[in-house]
A and B are shown apart, each in its own frame.
Chain A
Amino acid sequence: MILPEFFALLSIDVFLLLSLLTCLLEDRFPKAIPYIYQIAALIGFGHLLVSRDFLAVFGEDMRFWYNFFYLLVALGNVIAINLYLAVEKKMWTLAKAWSGIVTFPITVISVFFVSNYSYLQGAEFPTLILQVGLVISTIVMGVSISIFLSPDLLDKLKGRR
């Protein structure tokens, strides 16, 4: 069983990861970005502190929603960086690598924990989402493996067009 505050903990780790990654890629981002993400993580830490003291006062629903909102903000930032690299900076290779290494795994992990939490809380989980998610994952994985094993495939596909 997980507490709603787990989403805040996950979001803090996402912000810290973003801070370190943007620091490593500092030439591609404004200099203040890593520090802004550290502050965002600190806000999450303060948020956990407040939650701890008001654990008995805030209801389960309220705690879920404000932690879930914080997680959405963290995920929004991951996707925003992906878009920034792809659209603003036009660094396609880096954007693709970011989506594969950061965006996709973090999104999958978040969806997994949110669905797990809602299942344990007795909320009805739409199984269609699970099936669609599995189909998409299988397609993405299949295409990725094909391209990985024969890089010429992508060029051939482009050539046909």
Chain B
Amino acid sequence: MEIRKILFRKEMKLVTLLLTSMLIATASATIYNYMFLNANIGVEGMTLTWELGADNATAGTQIAGVTATLTNLKGPPNGTRVYGDPVRLKNTAGSGSALFDLVIDDVSGDTDNMSSIVVRLYSFNTSAYIQNVTVWNVSKGSDANNLSIPAGHIWRFEWEISWKAIALVTDSVTVNLKVKVPA
């Protein structure tokens, strides 16, 4: 009877540890998988890379794989601020254009006090204007699809942020932009 009790206790302990082990291992693998996808999606399928622009410090630009995050977009209340060159996109391919979608992944922060965010794309090589992308206007804007960047070209992303009169000088927003190859 006593031996059976001890065995049962041992089995219960092992089963508990096994279950918690499976939970920890699965959760860890899921997080790693998320990080792996976030860091590498762009590397294999496409030749586009984000690059820091001249205004990266003031805009708080951070680049991680396919995602460029601008964490410090500020502006005067009832006014507009333009960040001329916080982030750039480069087609590193030796030949051939790259077709991609520009995905507005997330807009967070003091968005209630913000009027709009418009991104204007310019070619760094030819200075030509490419197109506008509305990142925010009352709500999150639509993604820009089927953009084509020639081989070796760099595009400059000019950001124009307009704030409402009720905005405070301490307000700021964070925007995540992703590049995605159409399926």
What residues make up the interface of A, taking CB atoms closer than 8 Å to B? Answer: 1, 3, 5-6, 8-9, 12-13, 16, 19-20, 23-24, 26, 34, 38, 41-42, 44-45, 48-49, 51-52, 55-57
Contacts and interface: CB of A to CB of B under 8 A. Distances in A.
Interface string B1-18: 000000000100110011
Interface of B is mostly: helix
Q: Is the interface on chain B under 10, 10 to 19, 20 to 34, or 35 or more residues?
A: 20 to 34
A5 B37 CA distance: 13
Contacts of A8: 28, 32
B64 A23 contact: no
A48 B32 CA distance: 7
A52 B63 CA distance: 13
B27 A45 contact: yes
B61 to A, nearest CB: 10
Contact of B35 (A3, A26, A42): A3
A24 B69 contact: no
B34 A19 contact: no
Interface of B: 10, 13-14, 17-18, 20-21, 24-25, 27-29, 31-32, 34-36, 38-40, 43, 62-64, 67, 69
A20 B21 contact: yes
B24 A51 contact: no
B13 A9 contact: no
A93 B31 CA distance: 39
B78 to A, nearest CB: 32
Given A6-B32, A49-B31, A20 B14 contact: yes
A6 B28 CA distance: 10
Given A19-B17, A26-B10, A38-B20, A44 B28 contact: yes
